[in-house]
Amino acid sequence: MTPNQTGALLMMGSMAAFTFNDTLVKMVGADLPLSQILVIRGGLATVLIFLLARYLGSLHLNLPPRDWMLVLGRCLSEAGATFLFLSALMRMPLANVTAVLQMLPLTVTLGAALFFRESIGWRRMAAILAGFVGMLLIVRPGPAGFDSASLYALGAVGCVTARDLFTRKMSAAVPSMTVTLMASLTVFCFGLVYSTQQDWQPIEAWHLGMLLGAACFIFGGYLFSVMTMRVGDVAVVSPFRYSGLLWALLLGWLVFGDWPSGLTLIGAVIVVAAGLFTLYRERQQAGA
């Protein structure tokens, strides 16, 4: 296979792994509090990521102070995103919350324009506006459709956007696996603190098996995403990130019996189309 074909497969594998993780977490979330899930899954995932970082020789903590501040901001954003996303996941169908997260290429582009003064042009601005229309079709604000779950999902988008903006400002000297390990450790510590506010429930063998599986899928998602960045053209590989929505539709239907409404599907198509157009324009601008 060509490097781009390999990168595309790795990207799809990463998205599949993250979606399978979400599915397992949603399943055990009916019985266990969120803090318990964060601690058990987070602890297992952190150990696996640490072992991988040591194996790759990419665990370097001697970073400039500026980069450490950016890593700290990214870790706090990751913790907030994890809490908000999983809170939404417990209350919304899997495909719906995943569809809202497809706004990320658009919100990151908008954030870069607002905070970093990057030029985006009227075409990408129009795509961003179209994406927000699609997002409104998914969450449907109003007495019947807009609730706390939608607010959690939108908050998760904001936190992940901040996370990605922090990442963009890091120097090339910061290893990806070091950042990933720090983020996983921060989420684990957040779960420990949050557990003081919740009563843990007795855990059964199948709960532990599900959380072990979720940790393995999280680990696989991070591993594939790191491998993706090492092969192929990022501009070619990035659109395959949207394959996660297809997995969410399939698993949401098979496991939970959920299928999005027509308006939600239309909104998801608009968001994906707007995101693909934005990626296309960024590729054109990079080649100009």
Return d(Cα 90, Cα 157) in angstroms, integer.
Answer: 16
Ranges 107-111, 198-202, 237-241: which has the least confidence:
237-241
For residues 160 and 158, give the distance between their C-alpha atoms in angstroms, rounded to a whole number. Answer: 6
Token pair belonging to 93: 């169908």
Identify residue 128 by its one-letter amino acid code: I
pLDDT band at 280 (very low <50, low <70, confident <90, very high): confident
Residue 234 has pLDDT above 70, yes or no: no
Task: Say what the pLDDT of residue 143 is.
Answer: 52
Using alpha carbons, select from 50, 91, 104 the residue that is nearest to residue 245: 104
Mean pLDDT, rounded, for 110-116: 88
- Find the mean pLDDT for residues 38-62: 91
Q: What is the pLDDT of residue 181?
A: 93
**SS3 sequence of 143-155:** CCCCCHHHHHHHH
Dig out the tokens for 25 from the structure: 């977490």
* % residues pLDDT > 90 (the chain): 59
| Encoded tokens for 266 | 């239309």
Longest CA span, the chain:
59
Q: What angle do CA 35, 36, 37 make, to 5 degrees?
A: 90
The structure tokens 């450790």 sit at 185
Q: In degrees, to the nearest 5, what angle opens at C-alpha 10 toward C-alphas 236 and 217?
A: 140
Higher confidence at residue 143 or residue 117? 117
Q: What is the pLDDT of residues 2-28, one digit of tens each?
A: 888 888 899 899 999 999 999 999 999
CB neighbour burial string for 91-115, b if at least 16 within 10 angstroms, e if fewer: bbbbbbbbbbbbbbbbbbbbbbbee
More confident residue, 190 or 231: 190
- State the pLDDT at residue 80: 96
pLDDT in tens, 77-102: 999 999 999 999 999 999 999 999 99
Task: For 137-180, write each residue's pLDDT tens digit.
Answer: 888 765 555 578 888 999 999 999 999 899 888 888 888 889 99
Cα dist from 247 to 44, 93, 111, whole Å:
24, 13, 28
Structure confidence at residue 202 (pLDDT): 94
Is the pLDDT at 288 greater than 60? The verdict is no
What is the per-residue pLDDT for 177? 87
Q: Helices (H) and strands (E) in the chain — how many of each?
A: 12, 0
Mean pLDDT of the chain: 89
pLDDT of residue 105: 87
pLDDT at residue 119, as a whole number: 82
Share of the chain above pLDDT 70, in %: 95
